[in-house]
Structure 1
Amino acid sequence: MGREIKDIIIFKDNPWPEGHKITEFVWSGRIEPESGVWFDFHLETEDYYEGDEDYFKGDAEEEEEGDESNWKLIDWKSKITWGNYHSCILSSTYWEEEKGFLIGTKEDKLDFNRLVGKKIIVDPLETYNPEEPAFHIYLLGHDSAADHHIHFYRQISHDEFSISWKGKIAMSYLYDDEFDFSFEANISKAKFEGIFLPKELSVDEAYHLLSQFVKEPQRFQLTMKNDKPCFVLAG
């Protein structure tokens, strides 16, 4: 019987089909005055080999032999290779200036009352720009992630939602740009941290900016988080 894991990410066809525990998931928003409200995700996993008794006994399989053209699949299926990189970070905020995805504009305002059931596609393969990805990923080195399908499928409380997140992966750390692999993450209870604002705004300016991109701005309360002004959903 496998371990009971609440929030997991599965990398399809890697050596651990039951997936890996998500140890941290941060969901936040921010307002860019020229465009609108953006959502950011930050996800981290436990060590890939956590709970694998065979790995800790030194019984991880040797590298598979085969046609060199299958080097990607050989690495993908190797516990030894995965163990060299320890764990995964998939994030729009961890390495550099925020990326994320646009969720609310003046023409189509963010409506938390209609968030459940909403499905969003980010960086579809046909328009993916490797110079400006929505999310960066550290997996087997610094790889690439695209074709994200994000589904808010249940509301638990006023600021907590369940999220399904699927996407494609390219092993770009090894100079390959084909999105031959995939992931699927399930976050059963993601708390919305709030919508962060540019600094040095007056209260009136902050609410005016919020009202341009968000429906029912009265549902939000202005506070300070991480030394930044932030609108949080009031209970």
Structure 2
Amino acid sequence: MISFPGNPWPAGHELADLQWTARLEPATGLWFDLHLESAPYDADPAAIDGEDDWNAPIVWTNYHRCILSSTYWDNPGFLAATLQQPLANLDFTVDVVEQEEDEDQAFGIYLLGHDSVSDHRITFTPNPGGTTFRLDWRGRIALRYSDSLATYDHEFIATATDVSLTHITVPTDMDDDSARTMLAALIHPLPATTLHRATPRQR
């Protein structure tokens, strides 16, 4: 579920897709990526007007759904662990300071157009059994599509109860044993997840 306080749907919107992946970049460490898509917005025919774009259903339905992602537009995601600071918990604060360029921010967002998102609080809480997690993710939104100088006046709150790390991307020139040895130094216990081969994005 994802909600945008003050928009026309106080109960929020169901999630159509949610993916949590990681990538190993030997020069820097372990990076986390998230990709979220909401279900299409359902308009209330009796409420087609609002005081501004944020609370007008007709504006929201013009853009159909929300995409919030570090992979869809090749945003960097966020550094979760380094050899100097291995992963100690799954509670992250990301992009507290606004980046100068949207592509430098951890995530991009398509909401009421291609807007801007920052100031993330991301927490993964292990579910009983330890193989899946609850995700609590919130951040702030600036409606930059219509105003390039817009400030972060709005908020999103996303939750999911059954999330798993689907794969870790490792460099094509790194063998599995070397990758798992480095990952073991970054994250413990090492999750039993698939290793993908790709040239990582250097950050």
Question: Normalised by the shorter chain, which TM-score bucket?
Answer: 0.7 to 0.9
Query: What is the CA-CA distance between 1:224 and the residue it aligns to?
Result: 4.9
Q: Is the 8 A contact 1:120 1:150 kept in 2?
A: yes
Work out which of the residue numbers 117, 132, 140 in structure 2 matches 1:160. 132
Please report how far the alpha carbon of residue 122 of structure 1 lies from its aligned counterpart in structure 2 after TM superposition. 0.4
Of 13, 26, 46, 1:33 maps to 26
Match of 1:79 among 57, 61, 75: 57
Q: In the alignment, residue 180 of structure 1 is paired with which amino acid?
A: D
Which aligned runs of 4 or more in structure 1 are off by greater than 6 angstroms? none
Alignment correspondent of 1:44: 37
Pick one of 86, 100, 109 that aligns with 2:86.
109
Q: Would you tell me which structure has more helix in proportion to its own residues?
A: 1
Is 1:23 the counterpart of 2:1 in the alignment? Answer: no
Which AA in structure 1 matches 2:80? Answer: I
Q: One-letter code of the match for 2:171?
A: P
* Letter aligned with residue 128 of structure 1: E
Give unmatched runs, 5+ long, in structure 2.
Answer: none
Is 1:190 equivalent to 2:168 in the alignment?
no
Q: Which residue of 2 aligns with 1:13?
A: 6
Q: Provide the secondary structure at the position in 2 that maps to 1:121.
A: strand
1:179 paired residue number: 152
In 2, distance between residues paired with 1:204 and 1:26?
25
Post-superposition Cα deviations, 1:71-110, rounded to whole Å, max 9, x if no partner, equal xxx11010010010000000000112x5111111111112
- Corresponding residue pairs, total: 196
Cα distance between partner residues in 2 of 1:156 and 1:216: 16
What does residue 67 of structure 2 align with? 89
Are residues 1:128 and 2:115 paired?
no
Rg bigger for which structure? 1
TM-score (norm 1): 0.76
Give the aligned partner of residue 184 of structure 2: 211
- In structure 2, the residue corresponding to 1:28 is in which secondary structure? strand
Q: Secondary structure at the match of 1:174?
A: coil
Match of 2:164, SS state, is strand
